[in-house]
Copies of this chain bind each other. A is one copy, B any other.
Amino acid sequence: MASRCTRAPALARLATRGPTAATRLGRVQPLPRSHARCLSTTRSGWLHQTAPRQAAQVKFSSETYPELKRDSRYSQLRQEHVAYFKGVLGSESAIIDGVTNDNAADDIEPFNADWMRKYRGHCKLVLKPGSTAEVSSILSYCNKHGLAVVPQGGNTGLVGGSVPVFDEIVINMSRMSQIIEFDQVSGTLVAEAGCILEVADQFLASKGYIFPLDLGAKGSCQIGGNLSTNAGGLRLLRYGSLHGTVLGIEAVLPDGTVVDDLGKLRKNNTGYDLKQLFIGAEGTLGIITKVSIQCPQRPKAQNVAFFGIESYEKAQQAFREAKGHLSEILSAFELMDGGSQELVRSVTKNKKPLEGDYPFYCLVETSGSNAEHDSEKLSAFLEDVMEKGIVADGTLAENETQIKALWAWREGITESLGHLGGTYKYDVSIPLAEMYQLVEDTRARVDAAGLLGETDEHPVRAVVGYGHMGDSNLHLNISTRRFDKRVEQCLEPFVYEWIQERQGSISAEHGLGLQKKKYIHYSRSETMVQLMRSVKSSFDPVSGHQLSLLHRYPYTSCAEVMITGIH
């Protein structure tokens, strides 16, 4: 990764400091490259089956979810519609036409299905507009003619939001990928929505800046989709939410109206801050076409430490101390329980970073502007938490390879679970004090039901938890040996109700999409949902008034997704 810097020289000094720390350092066991930081944090959730099925095996969503019915008020695509779009887009390469061309099915397939091979639609027309005006023309026409659409960014979503269910037109944003301008003094970047996140970040790296969002899917996902999904990613702890960093957007409403809110100002208190609604709206309010965002200075140094910890209580203390000691340079504080690390070890056969076994492990990352200062802060933090007995054992990465190796023990969990069979995954947010309790309560419940055990007669191998402790974002994983209906019955609605009681979120960062739309009431009151419906109607008067926002076909997610209405 371009953002990785060589370990700060000052870290070497640590070994000569506090006696406890001195004996613990420098024992990082590099993992195989394949387990290095290649997995996405955002991709770590929601996979009920891990091994990707081949395209031919992917069931249509309409078969997986037979309760979904195509709304007959939407028109059927006809040749005259296609002819109009060809006129608007001009270039042949901007359209994949399966309406008039029976041989286009293979070309359309990548736009019809998601990368997890869980969702697949029946789309016959893919449009790739090259400008805001073209997006506007398309939506205006669709709105008038009752044609359903699905906006699509990089199609890296996890909840079935960026692909069609039935025959919606895919509006793919990949041709609107330009960086429009960058202000070297203020750090303000303006780019088209289809710009790949990694392209934007590499451009910024050349200017000494960094995109304030990092995802494992950065090589494919698009910044318009990032806004629409509002995933927190790896940098939330340090750079905050997109609600704070996005300065402006340009978007096209369902009726083709262009909303120009592409401000480049950090302060603009002139009426409601409507752009905020598009962030996390999963494309249902309109298609984001341009983005303006405040980018911070790129850190010059990064360090990673890895701890063994005796209890969740002490993990919380360690987090508190990390904030105190590391403050402005703390960029990640990840929690992994002993079970999750044992699964990684059993699959990778790698030697664990620490010799003993602990119920909890933490990975702490710093990102700052001065390597020596950062190392000194990290050293002081380490000495403090070890002397206080908060941390039982710890190790520091001494170079880029070791940094990646330590991260692999966190990011390799998803892949390791995949090797062991099916996994029930929940990506949830819970107030920190009770966050891990969900794992314990779930484990106890599955155990009490006789489903959990080390032998083959038990369908559940392990109930483990890990996640972004700094963001109160837990990944609860139930690793199974085989499909057993009793497991799901044991888990749901138990998990959702547990979260609801603690005012947690059933979807911390992946959105609702097709997968979660029916569960919104576990995290939002009916009053809130009603207001959402009303807001939807404001932005999309035609379909918004006729269709129920959150219980209609197809409410989708993750890239920009929206259905235009009918007359």
Contacts and interface: CB of A to CB of B under 8 A. Distances in A.
A531 interface: yes
Given A429-B267, A508-B267, A537-B538, A531 B373 contact: no
B327 A268 contact: no
A505 B323 contact: no
A473 B266 contact: yes
A103 to B, nearest CB: 39
Contacts of A285: 272
Nearest to A328: B328
Nearest to A536: B272
B272 A535 contact: yes
A386 to B, nearest CB: 19
Given A244-B245, A538-B538, A270 B523 contact: yes
Interface string A521-548: 0011101110110111111000000000
A260 B538 CA distance: 21
B276 A269 contact: no
A265 B327 contact: no
A79 to B, nearest CB: 33
Interface string A181-207: 001111110000000000000000000
A431 B186 contact: yes
Interface string A297-341: 101000000000000000010011001111111000000000000
A257 interface: yes
A273 B276 contact: yes
Nearest to A300: B327
Interface in A330-385: 368-370, 373, 376-377
A105 interface: no
Instruction: Please give the count of copies of this chain that the complex contains.
Output: 2
Measured as residues with beta carbon below 8 angstroms from the partner, the interface class of chain A is 35 or more
Contacts of A208: 324
Interface stretch (A148-156, A415-423, A456-464, A509-517): A509-517
Given A240-B244, A323-B297, A377-B373, A507 B269 contact: yes
A259 B368 CA distance: 40
Contacts of A528: 259-261, 271, 274
A462 B241 CA distance: 42
A271 B510 CA distance: 11
A229 B208 CA distance: 34
Contact of A263 (B432, B505, B511, B520): B505
Contacts of A525: 259-260
Contact of A266 (B257, B329, B471, B532): B471
Contacts of A506: 270
A444 interface: no
A265 B186 contact: no
Contact of A508 (B231, B257, B269, B472): B269
Contacts of A270: 505-507, 511-512, 516, 520, 523-524
Nearest to A533: B538
A99 interface: no
A266 B236 contact: yes
Interface of A: 183-188, 208, 229-232, 236, 240-241, 243-245, 257-261, 263-274, 276-277, 279-281, 285, 296-297, 299, 316, 319-320, 323-329, 368-370, 373, 376-377, 429-433, 471-473, 503-512, 516, 520, 523-525, 527-529, 531-532, 534-539, 550
9 contacts: A231-B269, A243-B243, A260-B527, A267-B505, A270-B506, A270-B511, A271-B280, A327-B368, A328-B329
Given A230-B269, A268-B508, 12 more contacts: A183-B432, A186-B431, A229-B269, A240-B244, A240-B245, A243-B243, A267-B472, A270-B523, A273-B280, A274-B531, A328-B369, A537-B538
